[in-house]
Chains A and B, each alone.
Chain A
Amino acid sequence: MNGLLVLFDLVLLAGIVGVAWRCLASTDLFRAVVLFITFGLLLALAWVRLEAPDIALAEAAIGAGITGALLLVTLERLRSIMAERRSGRPHTPPPDPTGPHALLRALHDPPPERRTFIPALSFALVVGGLLVTALWHQPHSTGLEPVVDAHMDISGVDHPITAVLLNFRAYDTFLELAIVLIALLGAWSLGRHDLIPARPAPGPILPGTLRLLVPVAIVTGVYVLWAGSHAPGGAFQAGAILGAAGILLVLARPRQLPMAPGVPLRLGLTAGVALFLLVGLYGLVAGHGFLGYADAWAYPLILLIEVAATLSIALALVALFVAGRPAGDDA
């Protein structure tokens, strides 16, 4: 049994390195994106083998799923922009070598790999070798596990990861929520998105699948959120699953999507951070410290924060997929 596991680990490791190599070496961007998604899924498996199911869930949902969807939609847009350029204006001036056009050209002209190949490979080998040496000498440290375990009874939840993320180190988690929001603000500052026209799919398969998948995704998302208090799961994973359901709806839309209303959307996007901050401020005023809870109130407050955070993350991921800000946001 143990021998089989070792074999599995070796195959997994070889797969991760191989897929990463193929992804980097690919001159076709579409193939590179697909390989990147595969890479994310293999990485999620590796996290499972490292007995970190929380990270595995996050990696599969965000690293492979949402990031893959974002990369694919970017690719599609780059292609349509390029097609427009080719057909609409045949005699365009030569593109600025440093501007975003350079990105467009990279779609077709393979990058000059040969020249950078040897330095890049030797740099990676040296850094990798040094890292392996440093890790080789590391003692087997239990980290903070004993300290966390000793405080589990007053953390308000039963799952140590959730206790660390939402109680002991809530400040870090708050800032991670803020980073998702800032990324969206950055994308929105670049422009508005156009109306999203209907894309009626021929045949019954797509609408039928959607009708089955979306409710399942919503139930799964809510379950993962709820499970977070005692088992692997939580706001980020649940938000990613709900966001994926939203992305599916945006992708396979039988009718033109209505423009999102500005004010409710903004409130929904900031709900997670705002509620977290309010609770934190209450903790400061009530004497539990900034972002602290009274022991008896820890569980309901954590649950409240997680629900709001899930909503905000799901909305932000769908909004990132749509990319531009809705016209309603400028009103």
Chain B
Amino acid sequence: MTPANAEWLPAAIAGLVALSLVVAVLATAWPRQAHRVGLLGALAITAWVLGLSALFLNAGPDPEAAATRVALGGWEAPLGLMLHLDGLSMTLLVLTAVVGLATSLYSLGYVHDRIERRQFWPLWLWLWAGLNMLFLSGDAFNLYITLEVVSLSAVALVAFTGTAAAVSGAVRYLLVNILGSLSFLMGVVLLFGEHGVLDLLLLETRTEAGPTERMAAVLMTAGLMLKAALFPLHVWLAPAHGSAPAPVSAVLSGLVVTGSFYLILRLWMGVFAPLATPAFGILVGMLGVAALVWGSLQALRAGRLKSIVAYSTVAQFGYLLVAFPLMLVDPGAWRVVVFFAVVHALAKASVFLAAGTLQHAAGHDRLADLGDVLRARPRTVFALGLAGVSLMGLPFTGGFIAKYLLLEAGLGTVLAGSVIGVLWVLAIAGGGLLAAAYILRMVAPAFHRGHEDAGEAVSPWMDWVPLGLATVAALAGLAGTLTLNTLALTPGAP
């Protein structure tokens, strides 16, 4: 690491947390200008994250040198709290910035009512700040609090429209989140009681495969699985994601769920690594296969556009579970999993934004009656299709690269002599086909003969942003090497 980097990187990390918080607090205190504060803040945070990633990549290629810990208030662990930046968190911060900026621009058009604007922006900026803090946190208890910031603002945003469906979806989401958080917190308490430290790196050096660790692992993983809507704890997802306003659904399906998954991955690669056994991996993989099949079937049956997209999140997260047994055979496969999650988040967010535009134009999102609007809005349909192609994993998109790498890892396990590897390969390949089926279901009405009716006028933001984000999702394949190289800068990970 060059001396300049050594000096700037810690300040830039603390600065990112400070900047996100300043933006959120300013929007809260000054609601009249909340949308302007939000727009400027979104641009500033995105620029800051990109600058930070440049600094971070410059500090490589030695992972030990690039990964940086910042002591808040000058108090080192175990007394104080440490922020922690490595390749994994850097990748997810960039993802958050891209999706966050797109969502902010989209919201300029989507949330146009003066009163609604005052309520929406502060909550959304708190959610964004919460995500940034979650990815930068290196302390078990602090992770719990950042999770709470994220969930609470997400719940408020789900209820935002105030309709009966939205409020009941939000209450369910709140109860699930509280249960998940408390389960996570109980695990943190057990770990703290046993080892007397909260810092993740210190915990990592002290944990072994004892009864406390097992219990903590079960509690924390179950809590996070509930929050990430991983099969079989997914039932709350579709009502909550389906009834939220479009930009909120995009952030929930793209980022919030990914945040919980990030934490599961982080914990199992660090603190709980001694507990991972092949049998556990196979169990998780089986859950993944079930999620793939069940989520896809629900998406094929759903009658509302946003429900299809919400169920496809359940299905796509099945891939992430299928990847766990692969990681036990080929430890390096975790980078592919994260890349898959990144591409999925980009594509899923753009699908939700496009669905929001169609819903706004038509006044509803019943698939059977959407044909006229779909035919009249080629730009939005193209965004839907482009992001969908990436979700299916057709060649030249980010999704293709991700699934190709996953398949490669799966075949690797078969070659390594694992019989069950065949199941993983079948699931990965078959899941793509199921995805193709439900995505074609969404765009198919556009190709039927019939009337064209553009419906209600939408703002240019809502017209163009989904397309832009879908393009980013499709082109993400080109950034595959860069992402994998960034992820390699994670010390301690294989």
Contact = CB atoms under 8 A, between A and B. Distances in A.
A131 B15 contact: no
Interface residues of A, number: 60
A183 B73 contact: no
Interface in B450-473: none
Contacts of A270: 25, 28-29
A6 to B, nearest CB: 23
Contacts of A98: 165, 168, 239
Interface stretch (A25-33, A162-170, A221-229): A162-170
Given A100-B164, A172-B142, A329-B31, A134 B74 contact: no
A131 B222 CA distance: 14
Interface string B270-297: 0000000000000000000000000000
Contacts of A273: 25, 28
Interface in A258-299: 266-267, 269-270, 273-274, 277, 280-281, 283-284, 288-293
Nearest to B145: A175
For chain B, the bracket of interface size reads 35 or more
A183 B174 CA distance: 12
Given A100-B164, A186-B152, A330-B118, A144 B73 contact: no
A96 B21 CA distance: 40
B179 to A, nearest CB: 12
Interface in A118-167: 130-131, 133-135, 137-139, 141-144, 147-148, 151, 167
Nearest to A176: B145
Given A142-B196, A179-B148, A189-B156, A266 B141 contact: no
B75 interface: yes
A170 B164 CA distance: 39
A182 B126 contact: yes
A101 interface: yes
Contacts of A148: 79
Contacts of B239: 98
Nearest to A133: B211
Contacts of B153: 182, 185-186
A250 interface: no
A130 B167 CA distance: 36
A191 interface: yes
A98 B239 CA distance: 10
Interface string B119-142: 110110010000001000000011
A193 to B, nearest CB: 14
B162 A100 contact: no
B79 A182 contact: no
Interface string A70-96: 000000000000000000000000001
Nearest to B71: A289
A306 B384 CA distance: 50
A28 to B, nearest CB: 21
Interface in B206-225: 210-212, 214-216, 218
Contacts of A47: none
A130 B214 CA distance: 10
A96 B73 CA distance: 52
A137 B145 contact: no
Given A131-B186, A141-B196, A183-B152, A266 B81 contact: no
27 contacts: A131-B190, A131-B215, A137-B211, A138-B190, A141-B195, A144-B196, A148-B79, A168-B73, A169-B80, A169-B141, A171-B72, A171-B142, A172-B145, A175-B146, A182-B156, A185-B156, A186-B155, A189-B119, A189-B156, A190-B159, A269-B28, A270-B25, A284-B11, A284-B14, A288-B73, A290-B72, A292-B72
Interface of B: 11, 14-15, 17-18, 21-22, 24-25, 28-31, 70-75, 78-81, 115, 118-120, 122-123, 126, 133, 141-142, 145-146, 148-149, 152-153, 155-156, 159-160, 162, 164-165, 167-168, 171, 186, 190, 192-197, 210-212, 214-216, 218, 239
Top 6 A-B pairs ranked by shortest CB distance?
A: A186-B156, A292-B73, A99-B164, A189-B119, A134-B215, A290-B14
Given A134-B211, A186-B155, A270-B29, 16 more contacts: A100-B164, A101-B164, A131-B186, A135-B190, A137-B212, A141-B195, A144-B197, A170-B73, A172-B142, A175-B142, A176-B145, A185-B126, A185-B156, A191-B162, A277-B21, A329-B118
